[in-house]
């Protein structure tokens, strides 16, 4: 089980200090929500901030690109030590050849490549061929764009279907879920088959001293 604290919920004015709260904690990724103001109505981390984070971070960086032009970011983020590069299926739902091309391109530059689906996108759009090419599938359990939203329980069905498909085809992709994750919804997501939990306020609302216990409570 991997916990991916979402830096969207961190103190942006003290990011270097915020990273220190995770010193010594294992099985942890740092989740970066990259938004362009077009695919979603919000703007977050840009290139300079991510470049600095890549130099400071002691844990793998997990970047979720909520952008209309992921190829631009595939090219421009390649030197920032991004471990996992996730972009959205919906950008290419009417151009699947381009989707496959970008997955393959990203795999030449990043150790792990993921694809995300919005809450109202049916999990069945992810064909066997797509799933075989991926290292990770990110199920959004809130509408992408803003933190602090309420968990959408229908997302658990998608997690269950992905787990079933993964077992049936003996695939290796990891199932990640993002949005409204707290102690209760984390348990439900894990029971459904999630292996990677993105959590923001459930972690960052706690003091530095209680960070490890907050993470432990999500998976216990």
User: Which residues carry out catalysis?
Assistant: 33, 178
Assign 215 to helix, strand or coil: helix
**Rounded to an integer, what distance in angstroms lies between the CA atom of residue 50 and that of residue 47?**
5
Assign 220 to helix, strand or coil: coil
**End-to-end C-alpha distance for the chain, whole angstroms:** 11
List all residues 6 or more positions away from 61 whose beta carbon is below 8 Å from its beta carbon: 29, 30, 32, 50, 53, 54, 80, 81, 82, 83, 84
**Rounded to an integer, what distance in angstroms lies between the CA atom of residue 58 and that of residue 121?**
34
Burial 194-217 (b: 16+ CB within 10 A, else e): bbbbbbbebbbebeeeebeebbeb
Q: In what order do the strands lie in the sheet with 196-199?
A: 2-5, 196-199, 174-178, 136-140, 112-117, 82-88, 61-66, 30-35
């Amino acid at each position: 089980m991997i916990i991916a604290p979402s830096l969207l919920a961190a103190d942006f004015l003290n990011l270097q200090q915020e990273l220190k709260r995770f010193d010594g904690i294992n099985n942890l990724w740092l989740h970066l929500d990259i938004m362009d103001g077009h695919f979603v109505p919000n703007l977050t981390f840009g290139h300079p901030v991510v470049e600095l984070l890549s130099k400071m971070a002691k844990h793998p960086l997990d970047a979720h690109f909520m952008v209309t032009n992921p190829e631009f970011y595939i090219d421009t983020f390649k030197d920032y030590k991004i471990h996992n590069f996730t972009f959205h299926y919906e950008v290419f739902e009417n151009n699947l050849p381009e989707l496959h091309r970008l997955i393959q391109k990203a795999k030449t530059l990043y150790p792990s490549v993921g694809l995300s689906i919005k809450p109202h996108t049916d999990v069945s759009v992810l064909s066997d061929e797509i799933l075989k090419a991926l290292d990770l599938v990110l199920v959004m359990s809130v509408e992408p764009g803003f933190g602090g939203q309420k968990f959408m329980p229908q997302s658990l069905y998608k997690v269950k279907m992905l787990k079933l498909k993964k077992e049936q085809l003996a695939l290796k992709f990891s199932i990640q879920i993002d949005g409204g994750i707290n102690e209760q919804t984390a348990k439900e997501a894990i029971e459904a088959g999630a292996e990677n939990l993105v959590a923001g306020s459930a972690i960052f609302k706690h003091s530095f001293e209680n960070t490890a216990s907050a993470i432990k409570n999500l998976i216990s």
